[in-house]
Structure formats: C-alpha cells, structure tokens
Amino acid sequence: MNLPQSQVSNKYRRLIRKLEPAFYIAPAFVVLTVVLLYPLGYALWLSFHEWTLRTFKQGIPFIGFQNYTDLFSNPDFLNSIKITFTFVFLAISFEFILGMGLALLLNQELKGRGLFRSMILLPMMCTNVVIGLIWRLLLNYQYGLVNYYLGRLGILPIEWLSSPKVAMASVVLVDVWNTTSFVALMLLAGLQSLPDEPYEAAKMDGASELQSFFFLTLPLLKPIILVTLLWRFIDTFRIFDVVYLLTAGGPARATETVSIYIYRYGFQSFNLGVAAASAFIMLLIMLVFAGLLARSIGQEE
C-alpha cells in the first residue's frame, strides 16, 4: 500500500522541482504578456487594414498585405530606414572608439576617480527632453555657444541643425555626448574584471602595449563588447525624443529615423495602418539584428 503512494509523491516531487523555476520567472513574463498582448495584437490588426481619417467612420477595410507592400515602394520609408542605419552605424562607431579610450583612461590609477566617473556618467542619466533642448540652444546658428566659440577660433558659423548635410552629424554628436559614458563605463567594468596573468606572460614574451591591447584586451572583452553593442543597438535603432526635439526629422527628412517616420504617419496624417505596418517592419529588423547579437553572446557563454 505504501509503495505506490511514495512513487506518486516522488513523481509529484519531481514535477514540482521541474516547475520550480517557473514559479520565479513566470510572474514577470505573465505581466509583460498581459500588458503587451492587446497592443501588439491590435497593432497587427491595424497593419492589415486601411485606417485613415477618411475610412474610420465607414468601417475600416481589410487590405491584406497592401500596407506592407506599399511601404517597400515608398521612398520616404526607405529613406527613413537608410537614415536609421546611418545613424546607428555612425553613433555606435564613435561611441565605441571614444568610449574605449575613456575606459582605458579611467582604468588608470587616478586620484578622485569616483568623482570623475560620476560626472562622466551624468549625460547618460539626463532627461532626454532636457538633452534635446539644451543642444538645440547650444547649436543654434545665431545665438548658440558652439558657433560663438568656434568663431573665436576663427571658424565660420555652421548651420548645425538647419543644413541637411550637417544635421545628421549634429544628431550623432548629441547622441555621442549622451551615451559615450554608458559605453565607457560598461567597458571599464569589463577592463576591471580582466585577469593579470596573460598580460604578465605577454610582457615576458616582449609584446608591446599596443599588441597586448589588440591581441589580449579586445578578445577578452568580447563578451562585454557584444552586450554593450546589443544595448546600444536597441536604443539607437528606435531613437525618437532627442532627434525629435533637435530637428523633428528635418531638414528635408535628413534626420527622419523610422520612429519619426511612424510618428509622422500615425500622429500627423493619422494613417494608422501604414504606421503599424512600418512599426512591424522595424521590429522585425531589430529582432533579426538583436537575435544575431544574442547568438554571439550565447556562443561566448
């Protein structure tokens, strides 16, 4: 009589043990799913319908994939994708080069390192609205401090925000100001966890500092570089508020990222179907790139 019961309770126990992680992990996932299920479902529905100010009162027609196919022949949308990739590439490149330099600097033994670190950290914690507005003032053609001090150095004033050729550089500049510290501090955390032994061995073998940076430091930092890249990719690809407050996507769409394109379609032309379809294409692109990055992170583990 006793035996089967203990078997049952053993089975039961094993099941409990198997389900134990779910007890911890599930609540977060359930809340996220509940919050996001309706918005995502509704957005998907919208993307297959023609929702405009003209149609929404007399029933919204189902149009299949037309919103999607239209987008691929829409020069403004293709332009916004190109702008987004340009922005992502330029911003992340500069942030990594400068961030690595800054991390190497802060890794030296300096007096007051904690204080330096706090101050360098400030830009990444600032309210985006404030960042956008400060820089709009600083980069103002007539009254901005940047042009004034460049003028003192003998450089002619630059149309930072009003020239289509320069606006992209300005937006990148502001993003670099905003988040280089994030990259630097991530890399710094990585640098500080590096083991000493390989460096001592390299020194014995007569490697120069430059060689040990390229052949030791960079490979050892690879996992943290990938994680930082993932975070920066997610944030730059969907950038909205800073760019919106600086240039609102202009001039002549020179800085119109996908998010701003969606905003224009969704909230200015009220073409919600097209806006939703663009959002899904954007999400798909992000998932592919983030997935690739995540896979490399997984291989490192």
Partner 1 sequence: MQSNFPRLVKRLSKIFIYILVILAVFLSIAPIVYLVLTSFKEPELTFVIPPVWSFTPTLKNYKEVLSSTDFNKYFLNSVITALSTTAIALTLGTLAAYGFSRFRFRGHFWLKMSSLIPQMLPPIAIIVPLYVLFSRLDWIDTRQSLIISYLTFTIPLCTWMMIGFFDDVPIELEEAAMIDGCSRFGALSRISLPLVVPGMAATAILAFLYCWNEFLYAVILTGRNARTLPVIITSFMTNKSVLWGRIAASGTLVLIPVLIFALLAQRYLVRGLAKGAVKG
Upper half-sphere CA count for residue 23 (Cβ side, 13 Å): 6
For residue 31, state whether it binds partner 1 (rule: CB under 8 A): yes
Q: Measure the CA–CA gap between 86 and 168, rounded to whole angstroms.
A: 9
> Residue 110 CA to chain centroid, in angstroms?
31
Least separation, in Å, of the C-beta of 163 and partner 1?
20
Least separation, in Å, of the C-beta of 62 and partner 1?
17
Least separation, in Å, of the C-beta of 283 and partner 1?
6
For residue 183, state whether it binds partner 1 (rule: CB under 8 A): no
Cβ closer to partner 1: 63 or 227? 227
Q: Which amino acid is at 274?
A: V
For residue 135, state whether it binds partner 1 (rule: CB under 8 A): yes
Q: Measure the CA–CA gap between 104 and 192, rounded to whole angstroms.
A: 10
- Looking at 186, 229, 243, 246, which residue binds partner 1 (CB under 8 A)? 186
Contacts (CB under 8 A) with partner 1, residues 198-237: 223-224, 227-228, 230-231, 234, 237
Segment interacting with partner 1 (CB under 8 A) among 64-72, 122-130, 196-204, 205-213: 122-130
Least separation, in Å, of the C-beta of 164 and partner 1?
22
For residue 262, state whether it binds partner 1 (rule: CB under 8 A): yes
Contacts 24+ apart (CB under 8 A), 217-221: 217/191, 220/190, 220/194, 221/187, 221/190, 221/191, 221/194
Contacts (CB under 8 A) with partner 1, residues 52-81: none
Nearest to 77 by CA among 260, 261, 249: 261
For residue 173, state whether it binds partner 1 (rule: CB under 8 A): no
For residue 25, state whether it binds partner 1 (rule: CB under 8 A): yes
Q: Three-class SS of residue 208?
A: coil
Which distant-in-sequence residues (6+ apart) come within 8 Å of 225 by Cβ?
A: 96, 187, 190, 218
For partner 1, what does the binding mask look like between residues 272 and 301, x meaning CB under 8 A?
x--xx--xx-xx--xx--x---x--xx-xx
- Looking at 12, 62, 72, 148, which residue binds partner 1 (CB under 8 A)? 148
Q: Three-class SS of residue 66?
A: helix
Are residues 254 and 164 in contact, defined by beta-carbon separation less than 8 angstroms?
yes
Least separation, in Å, of the C-beta of 58 and partner 1?
18
Peptide bond connecting 251 to the previous residue in cis, omega within 30 degrees of 0: yes
Least separation, in Å, of the C-beta of 4 and partner 1?
27
Segment interacting with partner 1 (CB under 8 A) among 15-23, 59-67, 75-83, 209-217: 15-23
For residue 24, state whether it binds partner 1 (rule: CB under 8 A): yes
Query: What are the backbone angles phi and psi of residue 168, rounded to the nearest 5°?
Result: -60, -45
